[in-house]
Amino acid sequence: MVKKLKLIDSKGLRMDGRKPDELRPIKIEAGVLKRADGSAYLEWGKNKVMAGVYGPRECHPRHMQNPAKAIVRCRYNMVSFSVDDRKRPGPDRRSTEISKVAGEAFSSVVFGEQFPRTSIDVFIEILQADAGTRCAGITAASVALADAGIPMRDLVAACAFGKVQGKMVLDLDKEEDNYGEADVPLAIIPRTEEIVLLQMDGSLTTKELQQGLKTGIDACKQIYQIQKEALKRRYAVILEEEETTEGDA
């Protein structure tokens, strides 16, 4: 007989010891790529993500140009060694979908009108995946957009919530995602709490969804603080470098 995997123990804790509404540890470093206009590296639990932003730059192919504003394009990609089985290189349905929804989330915060006919290209590379990679990617790319100096209404912060063995939980890991009943990625504009991405795999009751949204929004606000801290550290380094250069002159 196959033994049922116990994802929540008798004390209500999860397999990695987290409480139901606890996030995995998150670390973000902004400005890690020399050749990108903006970049960020993020570790979120066992997820490892690199994000690079290029632009605003002349949009190619030309027929995609919008004379009224910049277009925001996103490419989400999982590298071959990011998952247990080798991931076949190149786009697939899942990465095309994630690229589309992430690009739409960024379009809702970027002031594109300031840069007509240009493109802002966002690249999300998942180096190591352990569920929640679209939220991790969006969170990292949003810091990379700010690092590139792209004018935005606010950052976008993302986090998933879901249901595992009848209990609502925040930020599902791989086992919870595989064996749970629902996984709901969420991205918001933290300042206004506007939702810019909401997807659902599985099913929840209306009450569960409302409860999950509340916890998810609170979590996004915690993540927002970590994003802002990463940007502050980045600008402290830039200021220090400028002061040293001025001192040398």
Q: Where do contacts with ligand CDP occur on this chain (CB under 6 A)?
A: 83-84, 87, 94, 129-134, 174, 177, 183, 185
Do 119 and 86 contact (CB within 8 A), yes or no? no
Phi, psi dihedral angles at 183 (to 5 degrees): -135, 120
Q: Given the complex with ligand CDP, which of 167 and 174 has the nearer CB atom?
A: 174
Q: Given the complex with ligand CDP, which of 43 and 130 has the nearer CB atom?
A: 130
Q: Amino acid identity, residue 22?
A: E
Q: Given the complex with ligand CDP, which of 165 and 199 has the nearer CB atom?
A: 199
The dihedral region occupied by 55, where left means phi > 0, alpha psi between -120 and 50, and beta the remainder, is left
Q: Given the complex with ligand CDP, which of 201 and 229 has the nearer CB atom?
A: 201
CA dihedral sign of residues 89, 91, 97, 102: positive
Q: Given the complex with ligand CDP, which of 131 and 141 has the nearer CB atom?
A: 131
Spatial separation of the C-alpha atoms in residues 119 and 113, rounded to whole Å: 11
Q: Given the complex with ligand CDP, which of 124 and 150 has the nearer CB atom?
A: 124
